[in-house]
Every structure is written in C-alpha cells, then in structure tokens.
Amino acid sequence: MKKPIGLITDNPELLLYLDGKLHITVLGGIKLTGFDRLKVTLKLVNTDDKLNVFRHNLDLYNSIQAEQLIEKSADALNIGTREISTAITGLTTSLEQYRSERLEAMKPKQPEKKQLSEAERKAAIAYLKNPDLLGRTKQAIGQSGIVGEETNALIAYLIYTSRTRENPLHLLCLGASGTGKTWLQEKVGELIPEEDKLEITTLSVNAFYYFGKDELKYKLLLLEDMDGAEDVLYPIRELQSKRKISKTVTLKDSKGNPKTITLQVEGPVCISGCTTREQMYEDNANRCILLYMDNSPEQDVKIMDYQRKMSAGLIDRYAEKKVREQLKNVQRLLKPVSVKNPYAPYLQLPEAVFKPRRTMLLLLLFTETITYYHQYQRELKTDEDTGEQYIETTIEDIQAAFSLLETTLLKKSDELNDACRDFFEKLKTYLKEKDTDTFYSKEVRAAFRLSPSSIGRYLYELERMGYIKIAKGSRYKGFEYKIQSWNDLENLANDAQSMVKSILENIQLVTRIPPVTQSLNGLHKMQKISGERPVTHE
C-alpha cells in the first residue's frame, strides 16, 4: 500500500516530507524571512534501504543546486531521477505554503470592532452633544489617569481622532529623557479603540513594506521610540505626505527564475512618535504637530503625588478605566464626514514662523479636526454642484485651534530649540532674582546642575544667535557673559496674540455667516436653510 504524500509539521525544527518510499527530513526547519531564497538541509532516505542515507545543503530556489541534488541522491539511494525530481518539486511547494501559513499565523490578530449597547450608544451621543465638548473632554482625560498634561493630552487626543479622515494629522512628542513623552503617548493611546491602533516598539528597515495593502489604512500608528527608528524615517515621511508607500523587489520562483513584484501599502494613517532629538527629525517634525513636555518642578510634584497615591491604593482604578472606555465609545461613534472652513481665507500665521506653508496646513487640518469632533453639533449641508455632504467650521473652532496650538506656534517662531529656550528663560529668571545682567558659566552650571558639555552647548548657541555676549574675561580665567535680549519671548507671544485677535476681529467684520449657537441641553439651534439637516448617524 502506498504511503501518504505530504509535509508533516509537528516539529518545526524537524519537518518531514513523505513521497512513497522516499522520506525527506528538513533538518532545522526553514527560515520564515527572505522570500527570495529557500535554504534547507535535507536528509533523504529510501525506506527499502534505511541504512543508506543522503544529506545535502542547498537553496531550493537555485536550479543548479536542485539538479545536482537530484542526480547525486538518485545514484546514492538507487531511485530514479524522475521520482526524486517530483518529490523535490512537491517539497518546495509544500514548504512555500507552510512558510506562508506560519507568517500569517504570526501576524497580530486585529481586535474586532466593539458593538455598542443601546445604553453605551446613547451615553456617547449625549457626550458628543455636550455644549462644552472640548472642556468636558479635557476634564475626562484628566480623570482617565493622565496627570498635569491635560492640554497636551487633549491636543494628542484630537490628533488621534483625525486618523479616520482623508488627511490625518501626525504627532511628535518632544522632551528630554524621563519627562514623560512615551508615557503621555501611551496613556492617550489608551483612549483610542483597540481596533483602530497599532503600537510598535521597534521597526526594521523594510518592515513598513510588508504590511498588508490596507492593513494601516485609517489606523493610528504609535511608535514608542523614534530615536531607534532612523532606518524607517523615509517610509514614515512618505506615508505622511503621499499617504502610500511602495517598493519593488526581486524574488525567485520554484524553478529559480527571478521575477519582480511591487509591495504597496496604502494610507492614510495617523503616526505618533516620541524623540529627544528635535533637530535630527526636522523633516519628519515639519509634517507633525509638536508637543513639548512639561518638565517644570510643579509637574514633578503632580506626578510624584499621583505615584504615592497609586502606591497607597488611593486611586480609583475602576473609575479611570470607566472614563477610558467612555472616550473609546465616543471615538467609535464618529463617522467620516467632510469639513469645510469658510473662514480659512482669513487665517494667517505670525511672520516669524519658520516653514509657514506646512505650519499653515497643520493649523487648517487641526481646525478641521476640531470641527469633525463636533460633528454631532453641526448641520449637515449639501453642495448643490457636487452633491457632497459636509459640515462647516465655526469661529469657536478657530479660537479653540489657536488657543490649543499657541505653544506649538510659538515654538515654530522661536530661533532657539526647546532645550536651549528653557535654559535661557531659567537663566533670565535666575539673574533677575540676583539683580544682575552678567554671569559666569561656572556659577550658572553649579546653580542649574548642568554638565560642562550641556552648558557649553547652550552658551555657544545663545552667543551665536546674539542673545548673550562676552563682556570680559579669557578662556583661562573664564568669560563673563551679559544678557542682550530680555523680552524676546514675550515679544513673540504678544505678536502672536495680537495677530490672532486681529484675525478673529476681521472674520467677525467681513463674514455674514452667523455662528452656530448651542442650547443648554447640548443641541444646536438649526439654521433655517432649505436642504440642510443635522448630521445623523445610523
């Protein structure tokens, strides 16, 4: 009776292929990576003569090596070359299928979308109709376990909300080691439904290209450490700008013939990452809204107080979890809808902002995202020419966008990077307290507990930019420095605030579009315009 033909995979390190009287063992199994090769170590046995064994190491995709295997094993085992050739072809096909199945099984299972109960649905809708939706969301974020970074967390939450839009926003959390950037990203990520996000610790060079074509579409991608992801910065930028990436690779078929295939991954995708090195990721940072972590002593006190309460069991973890689930349900009820901003022609940026084109785009997209988040409080309108349905931005949305992004816009107007700016502001406060405008680096280094390399870097940058100058001294006895600019940051802030105030005043004067008002129960008063109706969510 003929023995069954097939691949036995009970032991991944010792695969067995049976073909009649020929038994082939794949010693050590196969590598699951590298689709352009199929290297194996084979042990061939003729069951009519089990003491006669033939062993060979080869790449099954190499036709020359495969032909040599067939000829030599046929002579050694006293089996016809045609029989062995058929077995090797069947083995190759079975190993390819086995590799594909293993790789598919190793992929993380995407959580199924949660089906909300009627009570959860009603609670989420009532939440989205809250008259002070942004204020209520900020409060809930604080109640979810995020301490002292509520404004940054609200910005991140809104950015993550944009993942379902055709032009999503992207986020880069900046700060020195230990300032909580990864923690903030992780905690805000917990407010997004599991089925809509993908958390990644590290990525290899080509990792992005091996996702499924639509696997990342409308997803939130959380990169824990951008400092360890230098190799994937280019595909990240391409996903952010072009919303798709592709790569052409050469593979070999079962006969060893080369063939070309194109791997393509499509977005849009919302990308969030953390880094300590703002300058290194300038190209990526220009495509992102930047969040600067609060490293003030007051924030340290808040964090440590929360840690102590957590250790003492004084934090209601169940209440925090309940708030997180509520915010997830709110996200699940947001539906794709177009946004138009009738006030966009009147928006401007401070002249001091670097790379204003991309900054303006980020401001417009962030404003649209705020409108999108308020979709249950906006009327659904229809474009008479195209039939497209959309909701409109209000003046309140613009005010909220400018208010939330005030720090980001200010940083983008500042010549100094964040670390150098923090040092300079602390230095000015220190000197004002001592009622002087001069200092020695040794004195300041001791007062701020900085390393010689750090203070040297800060002083060099400040002197180069003209914020300080050398008053006297030498490199042997030490230099005495003098502050040249005391109010530069205040002037930047005042200019930005004046510009925003002027923009809002101009909008009020030139536009005839009345703002949407809201009643106390969270329902907006409908404008009596033919063909318009509120956004409905079936």
pLDDT digit of tens for each residue in the chain (538 aa)?
344 568 888 898 999 999 888 999 999 989 887 777 889 999 999 988 888 899 999 999 988 999 999 999 988 888 888 999 989 999 998 998 898 888 877 766 667 788 889 999 999 999 999 999 999 999 999 999 888 888 999 999 999 999 999 999 998 888 777 777 888 899 999 999 999 998 887 777 677 777 878 888 889 988 877 766 666 777 777 777 777 888 777 766 555 567 777 778 887 889 888 887 765 555 556 678 888 888 778 888 888 898 899 899 898 999 999 999 999 999 999 999 999 999 888 887 777 666 677 778 888 999 999 999 999 999 999 888 888 899 999 999 998 998 888 877 777 777 787 778 888 888 999 999 989 989 998 888 998 888 888 888 889 999 998 889 988 887 777 888 999 888 888 887 777 777 777 777 777 776 654 444 433 333 333 333 333 334 444 4
pTM for the whole thing?
0.73
Q: What is the topology classification, in CATH, of domain 418-489?
A: Arc Repressor Mutant, subunit A (1.10.10)
Contact in structure between 270 and 220 (CB atoms under 8 Å): yes
Architecture (CATH level 2) of domain 118-334: 3-Layer(aba) Sandwich (3.40)
Compute the distance between CA of residue 235 and CA of residue 237 in angstroms, rounded to an integer. 5
The two structure tokens encoding residue 301: 């006190």
Check residue 521 and give its pLDDT.
37
DSSP structure class, residue 342:
T
Going from the C-alpha of 353 to that of each of 83, 191, 450, the distances in angstroms are: 74, 32, 30
Check residue 228 and give its pLDDT.
61
Q: In this structure, how many other beta carbons lie within 10 angstroms of the beta carbon of residue 268?
A: 21
Contact in structure between 195 and 108 (CB atoms under 8 Å): no
Compute the distance between CA of residue 455 and CA of residue 450 in angstroms, rounded to an integer. 6
At residue 407, φ and ψ (nearest 5 deg) are: -65, -40
The distance from CA 84 to its chain's CA centroid, rounded to whole angstroms, is: 51
